[in-house]
Structure 1
């Protein structure tokens, strides 16, 4: 499962590697320590074995004699697993000697075929005594005198000593490695977060550009990120040049069409009323159509720009003031439910879309038109769209309103439901086109005032960018 967070990826990989490395280190060190303890244990038994050998002789009565002093009280305490035994071999018939810790108990002895002697004529094996202790046995056979009398010497040690020693060491080792591992993870996490801070600075710098607070990525970045910052700045500059070129071309086209259309309108006034009205209406429709397509071209040219932004309240206040002067007999109210909202679009596009709606509302309203602006959400399932900030703008009037089938008809380009009133029938179509170019939505329905309610969903800037 892949994570989209660089921090999470690096932390996960570093944590996994550290955990694996610490486990391997713990196993290796514990194994090496066990091997060392076992070698030391075997060396101790060998030393004690030869101590017993040096302490035992054949007496004048042809018996085994001697009292080994091994300097360990466990050889004198019963059932401790620490024993020594001397047994006569061959024709040497005498009683064996045993440590007081073994008493009358016996130790099982494997055959020489199962556990042979090594090149030092010693053999080591593990057995379980009658007290259920696992003991390691060091054994050898020695000729005691010139007459060839020999004995078998065995010294045992309790393997619990090895296990307890290894267990204590392993517990201390695991605790130390755990503390070291946790500390390493904390240090790694802090180092990773510190190392990725330049990316956060780059993100904030991009946010300032998108919010209109800066025009390029400013600041010093590490050598790994600086090429990216350079390319982003070059992309922004290229985007700015494209937008300016598109705007200039649109302006030139508008200027070149303005004079011919004005000439046609003037010529239409010289014709008789029937033909003049017909030509004038068609020229006005052509003018509106040209303006509509020019707006669409301009929007398409700058839609990808990250510098498009407009403060909603001042722009809408200007539109409301104009409408109040043009319609003094009607009331226009502006309700900004969240002050300081900023839209990610050009001011001209906002004024064109909302201006058309206000003109329609003023044309059919009885006494009142209300504009409401609030935060909204996009109905799309595309995460790239829903992740953005959206603003809902409502334009409502107290006029007669429209039925659903009339709304559908009014949304068609060039259709007018009331031929007695002036207009080209392109206003709502222009609004729809402007909004769709910004990936927003436009819908109409009957509002709470009784008249028509137009609802626009427009792209906004998030609070941190606004």
Structure 2
């Protein structure tokens, strides 16, 4: 079964329309067929009445005084016929029958309430038969009266009607299907508006869905707004706990460092190393706890990158390192500005420390992300070591940092559904490629 609600509704409408139109077609066909058959039965009855009125008896001999006046009875094979059979086998018939007789005993039951026989040209005839008795002074004389016409006449009339009816029903079906399609579109439009509202919430432009809308969707909107409110409360609690933990660790670690000044150099170095390790682990855990908490925001990539470069520019200017930045002002990514600044800042800071003469920053839109490349012309990293750069505690070259910068960047991007990759730049330096999430 298809997962599309629109397609399900349309298929249901098609089946319903087809079923109803088939019922209508069957009913109209039956009504028209009965109407045509009734008209022909009435016409044949009128002919039989004329025949009965035109027969007289002189003793036992039957005489045909007045024949029906329709000129078609005088034309052989015209399609309209009559015949009278007396009790002693005398037959009166129209000239249109030519040299054949309609034998009452040989007639079969036919459609539309008629009997069926064969005409002068071998075509099927529909025959109406009536047996009457004419009273004379000497006796009652029985007669068998027959009126017939070509079956193809009524079949052609019904066929033409079916053709016209089929065209009309097809046009009706087309109009009904178009109306059903429009109705489905109008009926599902509130769901599209609800989707757009959720997209606005996700992008950080609003924090609640609009309550206006169809009555049937208001309970759903209310539940979603309640869920968003609970999520916002949980976010604030998580941030508060992370902040409390950070402040709670800061003071004891500072005290430990001060106390270590009174220890011998060996123990003092050991204490400082352990305190640094605690700070690194705390920073990493706090960063992980905060990641993904506020992902419903969009950030301009060019603007944020420009701010970060402006902070690093004094450092690179002192070493005559040039920045080459090529970023589209319209590029935005679905990340919190603080998270993106920390992830990208680590990469730019790394390039600043190792670049010799230039740093290149470029970006382009891909299918479901923005790929941002940061290249430096430093010493680079050996091919076999590229896969380990983002591992915690791994240092690049002789760098004496914490070894957490690129690892934190990788964690941030992973939390947002992005990724980080490393390769050799065209200048043999390091090329860092960030894939940043973008809503389609």
Measured after TM superposition, the shift of residue 189 of structure 1 is: 2.3
Please provide the CA RMSD for this pair: 2.5
Look up the match of 1:27.
26
Q: 1:42 to 1:20 in 2, by over 3 A?
A: same
Task: Determine if the alignment matches structure 1 residue 186 to structure 2 residue 184.
Answer: no
* Structure 1 residue 64 displacement after superposition: 2.6
What are the Cα deviations for residues 397-428 of structure 1, in whole angstroms up to 9, with x where unaligned?
1011111222234333213354x432122222
1:34 aligns to what SS in structure 2? Answer: helix
- The answer (yes or no) to whether the contact 2:78–2:96 under 8 Å persists in 1 is yes
> Contact 1:398 / 1:451 at 8 angstroms: preserved in 2?
yes
Q: Following superposition of structure 1 onto structure 2, how do residues 5-20 of structure 1 map, counting pairs within 5 Å?
A: 6-20=5-19
The Cα of 1:140 is off from its aligned counterpart by 3.2
Deviation at 1:184, TM superposition (A): 2.2
More off after superposition, 46-55 vs 407-416: 407-416
Q: Distance in 2 between matches of 1:124 and 1:354?
A: 93
Is 1:350 the counterpart of 2:340 in the alignment?
A: yes
Task: Please name the residue that 1:45 is paired with.
Answer: 44
Q: SS at 1:327's partner residue?
A: helix
* TM-score, length of structure 2 as denominator length: 0.90
Work out the CA distance in 2 between the residues paired with 1:376 and 1:261.
Answer: 45
Is the Cα–Cα contact under 8 Å of residues 376 and 457 in structure 1 kept in the other structure?
no
Equivalent residue for 1:250, pick from 232, 242, 249:
242
Note closer, same or farther for the CA distance 1:398–1:314 as it changes in structure 2 (3 Å cut). same
Deviations 1:7-31 (A, max 9, x none): 3322221122112211220111111
User: What SS class does the counterpart of residue 424 from structure 1 fall into?
Assistant: coil
CA deviations on 1:102-125 (whole Å, 9 max, x unpaired) are: 12223354458x76xxxxxxx941
SS in structure 1 opposite 2:97?
coil
**Mapped contact 1:393–1:455 kept (Cα < 8 A):** yes
Post-superposition offset of 1:65:
2.6
Give the whole-Å Cα distance in 1 for the aligned partners of 2:280 and 2:359: 25
Equivalent position of 1:318 in the other structure: 307
Which residue number corresponds to residue 325 of structure 2? 335
Contact 1:89–1:150 (8 Å) recurs in 2 = yes
Q: Any idea what SS the aligned residue of 1:83 has?
A: strand
Could you tell me how far apart the structure 1 residues matched to 2:358 and 2:402 are? Answer: 24
Q: Distance in 1 between matches of 2:359 and 2:266?
A: 36
Contact residue 399 and residue 451 of structure 1 kept, 8 A:
yes
Which 5+ residue runs of structure 1 have no aligned equivalent?
116-122, 378-388
| Contact residue 107 and residue 130 of structure 1 kept, 8 A | no
Cα distance in 2 for partners of 1:58, 1:164 equals 40
Are 1:99 and 2:58 matched, yes or no?
no
Show the counterpart of 1:2: 2
Q: CA deviation digits over 1:335-359, x for unaligned, max 9?
A: 3443222222222222222222222
CA deviation vs aligned residue, 1:286-319 (integer Å, no higher than 9, x gap): 212210110001115x0xx552332222222121
Matches within 5 A, 1:189-204: 189-204=181-196
Give me the whole-angstrom Cα distance separating, in 2, the residues matched to 1:7 and 1:398: 55
Q: Determine the structure 1 residue equivalent to 2:437.
A: 459
Superimposed CA distance per residue, residues 134-160 of structure 1 (whole angstroms, 9 cap, x where no aligned partner): 211122344444345544322212222
Does the 8 A contact of 2:83 with 2:94 survive in 1? yes
Query: Does the residue aligned with 1:191 lie in a helix, a strand or coil?
Result: helix
> Equivalent residue for 1:120?
none
Q: Specify which of 353, 376, 393 is matched with residue 414 of structure 1.
A: 393
2:421 aligned residue: 443
Give structure 2 stretches of 5+ with no counterpart. Answer: none
Counterpart secondary structure, 1:453? strand
**Separation in structure 1 between the aligned mates of residue 60 and residue 283 of structure 2, nearest angstrom:** 135
Other-structure match for 2:401:
423
Cα shift at 1:130: 3.1
1:165 aligns with 2:165: no
* 2:32 is the counterpart of 1:54: no
CA drift of 1:254 comes to 0.4
**Matched residue of 2:23: which SS?**
helix
Cα distance change on mapping 1:254 and 1:397 into 2, 3 Å: same
Aligned length: 434
Q: Contact between 1:438 and 1:459, CA under 8 Å: does it hold in 2?
A: yes
Q: How far does residue 131 in structure 1 lie from its aligned partner after superposition?
A: 0.8
Report if aligned partners of 2:211, 2:221 keep a CA contact under 8 Å in 1: no
1: distance between equivalents of 2:343 and 2:62?
123
Q: 1:349 to 1:124 in 2, by over 3 A?
A: closer
SS in 2 for 1:445: strand
TM-score, with structure 1 as normaliser: 0.85
Structure-2 residue corresponding to 1:83: 81
> Alignment partner of 2:305: what SS?
helix
- Give the counterpart of 2:214 among 207, 210, 222: 222
**Corresponding residue of 1:286:** 278
Superposed displacement of residue 251, structure 1: 0.5
2-structure distance, mates of 1:127, 1:137: 7
- The 2-side partners of 1:432 and 1:283 are apart by 24
CA distance 1:17–1:334, shift in 2 (3 Å) = farther
Q: Distance in 1 between matches of 2:64 and 2:301?
A: 112
